[in-house]
Amino acid sequence: MSKWKDLEQRLARTEQQLRLFQRISRLMASEATLQHVLNSIVRLIQEFTVCDSCLVYLLEGKELVLCASNDAPEHTLGRVRLSLNEGLTGWVARERRLLAISQDAYSDPRFKTFSELESDTFEAFLSAPVMARSKVVGVINVQHRETHAYTGDEMELLTTVGEQVGCLLLLARMDKAMIERAVSLESVLAGTVAAARG
Amino acid sequence: MSKWKDLEQRLARTEQQLRLFQRISRLMASEATLQHVLNSIVRLIQEFTVCDSCLVYLLEGKELVLCASNDAPEHTLGRVRLSLNEGLTGWVARERRLLAISQDAYSDPRFKTFSELESDTFEAFLSAPVMARSKVVGVINVQHRETHAYTGDEMELLTTVGEQVGCLLLLARMDKAMIERAVSLESVLAGTVAAARG
C-alpha cells in the first residue's frame, strides 16, 4: 500500500473512532434509557470492529447478566448469567483487565459454553471490563467468527467504551428524583469549591 | 502547505482529540473528585485549543458559579457568580447553544465584565453548555487574547466536553452510599432488561 493511502486510512479510522465517542457522549447527556443507549453502543461497536457478536454483561449482585447484544436471541437477555468464576468474561471481571485472543478462543481453559449463544464457536475474542468509580460493574465482549488479530485501536476503543458504559450505568441507577435534586443541588457544589480552595 | 503535510497535520490533530477524550474517560471511571477532574479537563482543553483562558461555570440554584479555571485568581473560584440573564455565558446557558465569536467579544451587547477576571479584555470567545440529562447544568468557556477563528474541531470538542462534564457533575452529586448501592443494585437492572424485553 502506498504511504499516502496508508496515511489516509489512518486518518479515516481515527476520525471514525472520534465520531463514535462523540455519539456516545451525546447519548450520555440525553435522557435516553440505559437499554436504548446500550443497544446503540452495541451497534456502534459492531460497525467499528466489524465483529460478528458484541455482548454487554452488567453486574447484578454477584452475577454478570447479559443485557445487550447484536446477535444473541432476545430471550437470552437478562437470562444468560455468569458467576465471576465462569468463562473468559468472568476472568475479565475478576482480573479487571482487557483480554484479546486472536484464535481458538473456545479452546481456552477459561472458556465456558452456553448452548443458547452461537458465539460459543467463534475464533477471536476481545473483552474489556465495564468500570465505574474504579469498580468493575460489567464486561463488554467483541467476537469474530474467524481468526482476527485485534489492533491497539480496537483494544483502546473497547477500554474507553467500558468506562463510558460504567458511567451510564451509575446514572441509570439514579432515580428521577435523585437526578432532579443533583441537577439543582446547591450544597454539594459549594462543598466542592470550598474543598478546592481549602 | 503540501497535501502530504496537510494530511499529516489533520491526523495529528484528530489523534490529539481522541487522546483527550480517552483521558477524560479514564478520569470519569476513576474515583477522582469533581474538582480534580475539572482542573484536569481545563488543562486538557487549554493544551488542545492553546487558549489564554478556560473557565468552567456550574449551575448552583439559579446562578452560574465559577468552579475551575487555568487563569482566574484562586479567590474568584466559587465567588464569581452570574445570573442566567448575565453575559455571554448566561446567554449560552439560557439558549443551550454553542457560541463562537472570533473578535471583539467584549463589544458584544450581551457581554458582562468582572473586574476580577482578566479575560474580560480578550478578543475571541468560544462557549458551550454543560449538559446532563438534557438539562443545562453549567457552561464552559474558552477565550483567546487575540482574534481567533474557532475551527469546527474546537467547537465539536467543547460540545463533547460539555456533555462529559455534565455526567461527571451528576456522578459527583451522588453521595458515596448512593454509588455503593448503584454499583451493586439488583432491582434497577432487572427492571431495565424486563422493559427492553416487554
Which of B162, B171, B192 lies at the smallest CB-CB distance from A167?
B171
Q: Per residue in A97-106, is it b (16+ CB within 10 Å) or e — as a string?
A: ebbbbeeebb
Higher-confidence position of A38 and A176: A38
Give the model's pLDDT for residue A175.
63
CB-CB contact of B178 with B188 (8 Å) = no
Relative to beta strand B135-144, strand A63-69 is unpaired
Instruction: List the single best residue of B31, B193, B197 to mutate versus A (max A Cβ within 10 A).
Output: B193
Least confident of A136-150, B57-71, B160-174, B183-197: B183-197
**Which chain B residues are Cβ-neighbours of A178 within 8 angstroms?**
174, 178
- Please report, for residues A171, B93, B96, B149, the alpha-carbon distance to residue B99 in angstroms, rounded to integers and kept in the order given: 28, 10, 10, 12
- Judged by CB atoms closer than 8 Å, whether chains meet at A67 and B178 is answered as no
Q: How confident is the model at residue A194 (pLDDT cuts 50, 70, 90)?
A: very low
For residue B11, the enclosing domain spans 3-197
pTM given for the model? 0.86
Give the model's pLDDT for residue B197.
40
ipTM reported for the complex, 2 dp: 0.85
Please give the mean pLDDT across all residues of chain B.
87
CB proximity A65 to B under 8 Å: yes
Give the model's pLDDT for residue A43.
97
Q: DSSP for B61-122?
A: TTEEEEEEESSS-GGGTTT-EEETTSHHHHHHHHHT--EEE-S-GGGSTT----TT-GGGG-
**3-state DSSP call for residue A143?**
strand
For residue A174, pLDDT beyond 80? no
Give the model's pLDDT for residue B110.
79
For residue A110, pLDDT beyond 90? no
**Which chain B residues are Cβ-neighbours of A60 within 8 angstroms?**
186, 189-190
Query: Nine-digit cell at A150?
Result: 485485534
Give the model's pLDDT for residue B57.
96
Q: How confident is the model at residue A171 (pLDDT cuts 50, 70, 90)?
A: confident
- Residue A126's CB: how many other CB atoms inside 10 A? 27
Give the model's pLDDT for residue B198.
35
For residue A196, pLDDT beyond 70? no
Q: DSSP for A66-128?
A: EEEESSS-GGGTTT-EEETTSHHHHHHHHHT--EEE-S-GGGSTT----TT-GGGG-SEEEEE
Backbone angles phi, psi at B100, to 5 degrees: -130, 125
CB proximity A12 to B under 8 Å: no
Q: Give A192→chain B minimum CA distance, Å.
A: 6
Element (H, E) at B30: none
CB proximity B196 to A under 8 Å: yes
For residue B162, pLDDT beyond 70? yes
Number of domains in chain B: 1
CB proximity A9 to B under 8 Å: no
Q: Give B81→chain A minimum CA distance, Å.
A: 12
Q: How far apart are CA A23 and CA B44, in angstroms?
A: 20
CB-CB contact of B40 with B28 (8 Å) = no
CATH of the domain at B75: 3.30.450.40
Q: How far apart are CA B164 and CA B53, in angstroms?
A: 20
Q: Give A104→chain B minimum CA distance, Å.
A: 30
- Judged by CB atoms closer than 8 Å, whether chains meet at A30 and B134 is answered as yes
Give the model's pLDDT for residue B146.
96
